[in-house]
Amino acid sequence: MGSSKNKFQPQRAHRYYKITGFYSFVVESIKKSMPPVLIVVGLLVIFHFAVMPIPDALELAVAELPNYGVLAFFFLSETLLGLIPPELFIAWAGKTADPALNLFFIALLSYLGGMCSYFIGRWSLKIPAIHNYLEIKMAKQLIMARKWGGILIAVGALLPLPFSIGSLVAGMLRYPFKYWVVIGLLRFLRFALYGAAIFSVV
């Protein structure tokens, strides 16, 4: 029989995460990423009601663009906050002549888009106002990012959350890139699982 010490104990884990500041780190990281998200959401709402419903616009873009155009559009989306649901592009891949190949391409482009977002975050540190803000207002966050940032990246890679935003924040908080490269590979697993599910109904 194994010792109870080796068993996962939710209450003890919860207490550990609370004491070490993991929960506050998650909340603060989400709060810091909200302003650019709200700006983009606002622009999308204006477009939706003033120009064309977003679902119709996306379907039109996917229908009218050649394959390389759809892939380029997806890469741009995954680099700039990633607010357009990847599931739309997974469904598009399922309707192409080579579903598996195009699914791989969009998974790769999502991964590379997240990488670009990471470096945009790192580049933004060269802006004095942002650099000083992070160094003074988020000194504690910089320390916590090195400890817990991997969990946020993994969640963004696997779940229906903007992977780009998590990568952008990771870059701004200077989370080690070598760890991002490895954890970000979970993005391929997400697309494989979602692709298997969506391909069965498209």
pLDDT digits (tens, 9 = 90+) for 27-63: 666 666 566 556 666 777 887 788 877 667 666 766 7
Task: Tell me the Ramachandran region of residue 34: left when phi exceeds 0, alpha when psi lies from -120 to 50, beta otherwise.
Answer: alpha
Residues 6 or more apart in contact with residue 130 via CB below 8 angstroms: 124, 172
Q: What are the φ and ψ backbone dihedral angles of 125, each rounded to 5 degrees?
A: -70, -15
Integer angstrom CA distances of residue 176 from 71, 80, 100, 172: 28, 21, 32, 11
Residues 6 or more apart in contact with residue 35 via CB below 8 angstroms: none
Given a cut of 80, is residue 82 above it in pLDDT?
Answer: no
Q: What are the φ and ψ backbone dihedral angles of 51, each rounded to 5 degrees?
A: -115, -65
Q: How many CA atoms lie within 13 A of 120 on its CB side?
A: 16
Instruction: Give residue-wise pLDDT tens across range 143-194.
Output: 666 666 677 778 777 776 678 877 887 887 788 899 899 999 999 999 998 8
Q: What is the pTM of this model?
A: 0.68
- The count of other CB atoms within 10 Å of the CB of residue 63 is 9
